Amino acid sequence: MIGGNSMTSPTTTIAPARAGRTGGSGLWKNIKRHKSVYLLASISLTYFVIFKYVPIWNAQIAFKDFMALDGVLGSPWVGLQNFKDFVNSYYFWELIRNTVMYSIGKMIFSIPAAIFLSVTLYECRIFFLRKSVQTLAYLPHFLSWVIMYAILLAILSPSNGIVNDVIKLFGGEPISFLTDAKAFPWIVILSDMWKEMGWSAIIFLAALMGIDPSLFEAATVEGASAWQRVRYITLPSIRPVIVMVFLLRLGTILDAGFNQIFMLYSLPVYSVADIIDTWIYRQGLLEFRFGLATAVGLFKGVFGLILIVVSNRLIRKHTDSGLY
Amino acid sequence: MKSSIRLTKSDKFFHFLVNTSLFVILAIFVIPIWSTITLSFRPNTFIGSALDGMLLAPWKWSTSAYEALLGHRAFLTSTFNSFRIFFQGVATALFLTVPLAYILSIKTLPGRKLLYGIVIIPYLFNVGLIPNYLLVAKLGLMDKLAAVYLPGAISVYNTLIMKSFFEGISEELKESARIDGASEITVLLKIILPLSKPILLTIGLYYGVHFWNDFFNAMLYLNDSALQPLPILLRNILLSSGMNEYVEVNAFGEAPIAAIKAASVLLAAIPMLIAYPFIQRYFVKGTMLGSVKG
């Protein structure tokens, strides 16, 4: 154990006085006075700078023709060439389209599903049913996409999957869902919904728990039906949370779910499956076009930052909370 | 609430619909999981539809897929690697996250705003894969297990959840200890941490689940097959159609390959299923804390 703690002076306290708030140097002095606190976190901070800020420094190769031998600093500058290559690339619009299609598609399906789940759970009077659904619905969030892929193989397989069994039962032709360009986007959206809807429902459920019960009592006394209670009390009460969740998702619209797509896609479905992140991976680490791949990553990072700042502004405007 | 009030016809219908919906939702979650479980026990001699397979009586189940996996070296090595990544990762992550969350939670800390900015910027601005890859390569972490967990050993999100929890601990308690001459390390170790067991468990498990599930970092940074964790082996098994270069020919004996695939992921999910009830107890609180501005 770290029992000795000889490295900190025992007299240091966190003075609430904030005596030295007269400017930059005052702040610095004040920080130095509290160096024992900073010392405590020094390893974490060093780690943080190395693992979070060196990559930002490395991102300069987006403007360079990166050569592994020359390193980050030694590679020659090429200006915006990498960005131009990306924007003019045959794949540019396809990648943007797929990425946005998956983000929006997931949002349109899984948020309403989560709202529906949370409201039904909230209204359900059968304890056992409620608990079983909750336990099972939260679980898939903790499964990796590798495991999800195995589950999808088990139910979607053309030869021995239950889904194709049902299709055959109704006289249809079995579909090879994971390699069929028409079916693939649906598999992505619906499997994400299956995995995440329980988890997404938690935040709505928590909001529902916060509704003042006297509202329901008053409504019932006034003769409101269960439907009317949902329509005029339950849903309006969680409206701010719904708005917040939608806006948060808008902020991450360029993250279409790398792990999922990477696990599920294959050559026959690239044209509908390839998203910005999977493309970055292949360009960068399979074709070694580091500069180009970094430029695309940086493009996505900057765009994502703008989106998240905007959505956070909107959240602050429409609700009382914010992301940061 | 809503207890002794007589239900009208439409209210009864409403509750009927609510319960039916939940039963349907329950089925939507049970069927895929049950399909996978029964598939893993399907004997080689099985003939019939998927539905027949799902309803196959347990005494006709075959454990050959599990026997094959548990008797296979690569599977055992990968499991061992996964456990190493799990424990080393969680220990490292908590060791790094706790002090950062703690100093962020000190409201009177000079430079707190600046520090908060430093922590939040990488969270909002993600430069992507390649710059991180270059860093890991530069640090000489290639083919080291640490490459899997070190890049994610401080998650800003987890740090902020933990910080909110620390902020909730009574300020007087900390202040009185400081007045008594306790150093910051003593305050953290003797006062904060004993009161923070639920959050340490929750965040530790969040990290643990993340490291246990990770296949991407392992795929990028571990080329040595002796170091590969479970997700990589699983992925190779899943992507193989029968047998291929990743999985040795006949490595898994008699069991059908579909059963092997199902059994392998179920085995890999067991530690998660054990941890799950513990996480479930706390994660509602955790997610709520995370969504509230700090």
pLDDT tens digits, residue range A72-88?
Answer: 888 889 989 999 999 99
Residue A157 lies in a domain: yes
pLDDT of A35 > 90? The answer is no
Same domain, A130 and A64: no
Span A228-245, average pLDDT: 91
Q: How many whole angstroms separate alpha carbon B258 and alpha carbon A204?
A: 38
Span A91-111, average pLDDT: 95
Same domain, A75 and A100: no
Residues 89-108 of A with CB under 8 A from B: none
CB contact under 8 A, A40 and B99: yes
Q: How many whole angstroms separate alpha carbon B169 and alpha carbon B203?
A: 17
Give yes or no for A310 touching B (CB within 8 A): no
Q: What is the pLDDT of residue A117?
A: 97
Name which of B110, B120, B284 is nearest A202 (Cβ-Cβ): B284
Indicate the residue among A37, A64, A79 that finishes a domain.
A79
Q: How many whole angstroms separate alpha carbon A191 and alpha carbon B71?
A: 32
Q: How many whole angstroms separate alpha carbon A174 and alpha carbon A157?
A: 9
Chosen for mutation from B156, B171, B183, B203 (greatest number of chain A CBs closer than 10 Å) is B183
pLDDT band at A324 (very low <50, low <70, confident <90, very high): low
CA distance, residue B248 to nearest chain A CA (Å): 20
Provide the CA A216 distance to its chain's centre, in angstroms. 35
Span A212-229, average pLDDT: 88
Same domain, A178 and A100: yes
Residue A157 amino acid letter: S
CB contact under 8 A, B132 and A55: yes
pLDDT of A262 > 70? The answer is yes
Same domain, A92 and A74: no
pLDDT string in tens for chain B (294-residue length): 444 456 788 888 999 999 999 999 999 999 999 999 999 998 877 777 777 778 888 888 888 889 888 888 889 999 999 999 999 999 999 999 999 999 999 888 888 899 999 999 999 999 989 999 999 999 999 999 999 999 999 999 899 989 988 988 888 888 888 888 788 888 888 888 988 888 898 899 889 999 999 999 999 999 998 999 999 999 988 887 644 444 444 455 556 788 888 999 999 998 888 888 777 776 655 555 544 433
Q: What is the pLDDT of residue B292?
A: 41
pLDDT in tens, B40-72: 998 877 777 777 778 888 888 888 889 888 888
Q: How many whole angstroms separate alpha carbon B50 and alpha carbon A64?
A: 54
CB contact under 8 A, B111 and A309: no
Q: How many whole angstroms separate alpha carbon B143 and alpha carbon B152?
A: 16
CB contact under 8 A, A133 and B22: yes
Neighboring chain B residues of A140 at a CB cutoff of 8 Å: 29
Nearest to A311 by CA among A255, A240, A244: A244
Helices A145-156 and B9-40, interaxial angle, to 10°? 90
Please state, as a whole number, how many other Cβ atoms lie within 10 Å of the Cβ of residue A120: 22
Query: How many CB pairs below 8 A link A and B?
Result: 307
Same domain, A68 and A136: no
pLDDT of A18 > 50? The answer is no
Query: Among the ranges A189-193, A245-249, B55-59, B267-271, which has the highest mean pLDDT value?
Result: A189-193
Give yes or no for B29 touching A (CB within 8 A): yes
Residue B246 amino acid letter: Y
Give yes or no for A176 touching B (CB within 8 A): no
Residue A37 amino acid letter: V
| Tokens at B210, concatenated | 């993340």
Q: What is the pLDDT of residue A272?
A: 94
Mean pLDDT is lowest, of A16-30, A50-64, A265-279, B37-51, for A16-30
Same domain, A173 and A281: yes
Same domain, A64 and A142: no
Q: What is the pLDDT of residue A148?
A: 95
Neighboring chain B residues of A132 at a CB cutoff of 8 Å: 26
pLDDT of A270 > 80? The answer is yes
Q: What is the pLDDT of residue A11?
A: 37
Residue A16 lies in a domain: no
Residue A303 lies in a domain: yes
Residue A272 lies in a domain: yes
pLDDT band at A40 (very low <50, low <70, confident <90, very high): confident
Q: What is the pLDDT of residue A166?
A: 87
Same domain, A147 and A67: no
CB contact under 8 A, A160 and B39: yes
Q: Which CATH number belongs to the domain containing residue A245 in this structure? A: 1.10.3720.10
Same domain, A263 and A126: yes
Q: How many whole angstroms separate alpha carbon A284 and alpha carbon A61?
A: 12
pLDDT band at A323 (very low <50, low <70, confident <90, very high): low
Span A101-118, average pLDDT: 95
Task: Give the position of tokens 């900057």.
Answer: A302
Indicate the residue among A79, A101, A124 that finishes a domain.
A79
CA distance, residue A11 to nearest chain B CA (Å): 6
Contact yes or no for B167/A105 (Cβ under 8 A): no
Q: What is the pLDDT of residue B8?
A: 80
Give yes or no for B31 touching A (CB within 8 A): yes
Q: How many whole angstroms separate alpha carbon A180 and alpha carbon B51?
A: 23
Q: What is the pLDDT of residue B5?
A: 55
Instruction: Report the Cα–Cα distance between both ends of chain A, in Å, rounded.
Output: 35
Contact yes or no for B164/B107 (Cβ under 8 A): no
Give yes or no for B15 touching A (CB within 8 A): yes
Residue A100 lies in a domain: yes
Range of the domain at A312: 85-318
Which residues lie below 8 Å from residue B142, measured CB to CB, with a gap of 6+? B136, B221, B223
Residues 67-126 of B with CB under 8 A from A: 95-97, 99-100, 102-103, 106, 108-111, 114, 118-120, 122-126
The tally of domains found in chain A comes to: 2
Indicate the residue among A79, A114, A143 that finishes a domain.
A79
Same domain, A182 and A262: yes
More confident site: A21 or A307: A307
Residue A13 lies in a domain: no
Neighboring chain A residues of B148 at a CB cutoff of 8 Å: none
Residue A257 lies in a domain: yes
Give yes or no for B53 touching A (CB within 8 A): yes
Neighboring chain B residues of A18 at a CB cutoff of 8 Å: 108, 110
Residues 218-237 of A with CB under 8 A from B: 220, 225-227
Which residues lie below 8 Å from residue B238, measured CB to CB, with a gap of 6+? A146, A149, A150, A153, B261, B264, B265
Q: What is the pLDDT of residue B2?
A: 46
Q: How many whole angstroms separate alpha carbon B154 and alpha carbon B94?
A: 8
pLDDT band at A1 (very low <50, low <70, confident <90, very high): very low
pLDDT band at A9 (very low <50, low <70, confident <90, very high): very low
Q: How many whole angstroms separate alpha carbon B82 and alpha carbon B88?
A: 10
CB contact under 8 A, A18 and B110: yes
Same domain, A47 and A121: no
Residue in chain A lying closest to B6 (CA): A220
CB contact under 8 A, B130 and A284: yes
Give yes or no for B246 touching A (CB within 8 A): no
Q: How many whole angstroms separate alpha carbon A186 and alpha carbon A218?
A: 44
Same domain, A310 and A210: yes
CB contact under 8 A, B293 and A323: yes
Contact yes or no for A316/B152 (Cβ under 8 A): no
Which of A304-322 are b and which e, b meaning 16 or more Cβ less than 10 Å from the residue's Cβ?
beebbeebbebbeeeeeeb
Neighboring chain A residues of B129 at a CB cutoff of 8 Å: 277, 280-281, 284-285, 293, 297
Residue A152 lies in a domain: yes
